[in-house]
Every structure is written in C-alpha cells, then in structure tokens.
Amino acid sequence: MKIKELNLKSRPRERLISQGPKALSDVEILAILLNNGIKNMSALDLANSLLQKYTLKELIDIEYQQLIKENGIKVAKASKIIAAFELAKRAIALPSSGCNFKMARDIYDFLKTDYCYAKVEKFILLLLDSQLRLIKKEVLREGFAANVELDIKDLVRNLFKYEAYGFIIAHNHPSGNPTPSKSDKYLTNFIYKFCKELNFVFIDHIIWSAKDKYYSFSETGFFNLCDN
C-alpha cells in the first residue's frame, strides 16, 4: 500500500508531527528519510526491506557503494541515509557541558558510539582540563594494526598546544579482544614515564572492542607498576 493511501493520521510524517518521533517505528523513521518509493514499493516497503537485510548498527557504517546496490536505492536515497547517520554520530560525539571522565566506563561510553565498530585500528587522544573535562578529541593515528604506530611527538605537541592538564589515550582492537598486547603495555609504560617528567597527568589508556568490551590500564593497577 502506498503511503498516500493510508489514513492521514497513520502516515509516518503526520504521526511524527502529531505524536513525536519516539512514537514511530524504525521502519517509519527510515521511510521518512527515503521520502518516496518506487514502482510497486512504497517508502515503507523499501524501509522494511532494508531493515530486514541490515540492522541499524550495520546501516550506521554502511558504505555508499554497497547501499546503492539495494533495490530502489539510488544516489539521492543513499546519500540521505548515510548523511542522516553521520549527523547523528557527530551529534552524539560532541561533548556536553561539564562532560568529564572520572571512570573508565565514562571514557568507553563516550567513544563507543563513534568508534565501536571501526574496522581499522584507531588511536584517540582525549585532552582534559584540571576538572577532567574534555578540551579536545583527536584521532592521532588510524590504519590496519600492523601499520599503526603512535608518534609520541604528536601526543606531546597536542598537550602543549591545548594547554592540557591531563590526557587519555584509547585505541581499538578490531579483532574483538581488548586484552593488551606486549607492545600495548610497553607503549603505555613509556608514555606514562615520559609525560610524568613533563608534568602531564596520564589518566588512562583504554583498549576497546565491539560488543561492550574494554580494558582499562588504570583500573587494573598498571600505572602503579610503572612507578616501581
């Protein structure tokens, strides 16, 4: 059934206006983005077809070339879907007023929306003030694990540039196992001792993976070992 054949109060756009977006199903919201259907398929049919094939988490990072292969999805519709998800990710990633990181879980929750399902390894730097509030987030390095090396000079340059009190580094293991490698431990130990000499506070090193898994060097007492 075409959307225009539905009762006016039952149409997705009208329901969004009268009842608010939370009243809509995932299919209805996606149908609004698609705007219209194709021959023999309404926007609701197209949206339902997409969500039967992909989960919302898969659509978040779907590539344009893959999306336009789907029936009824061409340049305009694919662009709207990708742009909508990207805008949502950027909005969620923005630090709110007073956003601070006092526990490892706070760090992970801040990062996971934007980077949880990253397919390549990313090194993230979070620069903090004396109240542990976020000053700046930087992606220092990204690429396939074998080719990613963190440049300490980039780290220190950002610390001085933004006059940070302290910092957190975080990176992902696309393999799904957040357990630190020997090189992860060596790097953490080196950064801790190097930046301590410069009077910057190294608050934590987080390793995360998909499925709500992360490892915190601070929580496991690793920094205490560095002082010995």
Identify the CA nearest to 102 among candidates 196, 216, 195: 216
> Looking at domain 104-226, does it have CATH number 3.40.140.10?
yes
- Please say if the pLDDT value at position 34 is more than 80: yes
Helix (H, G, I), strand (E, B) or coil at 168: strand
Tell me the average pLDDT across 186-206: 91
Q: Look-up: residue for tokens 């760090």?
A: 107
Ordered by start, the domain boundaries in the chain are: 3-93, 104-226
For residues 172 and 82, what is the distance between their CA atoms, to the nearest angstrom?
Answer: 23
Secondary structure of residue 204 in the 3-state scheme: strand
Burial category of 138 from C-beta neighbours within 10 Å (exposed 0-12, middle 13-18, buried 19 and up)? middle
Q: What is the pLDDT of residue 209?
A: 81
104-226: same fold as 3-93? no
Between helix 182-197 and helix 152-161 the angle, nearest 10°, is: 40
Model confidence at 8, pLDDT cuts 50, 70, 90, reads: low
CATH number assigned to the domain with residue range 3-93, chosen from the 4 options 2.60.40, 3.30.2420, 1.10.150, 1.10.3470: 1.10.150
Mean pLDDT value across residues 199-213: 86
The strand pairing partners of 122, in sequence order, are 142
pTM of the model: 0.59
pLDDT at 95 over 70: no
Q: Tell me: the pLDDT tens digits for 51-94? A: 999 988 888 888 899 999 998 899 999 999 999 988 887 776 65
pLDDT, residue 147, reads 46
pLDDT (0 to 100) of residue 174: 81
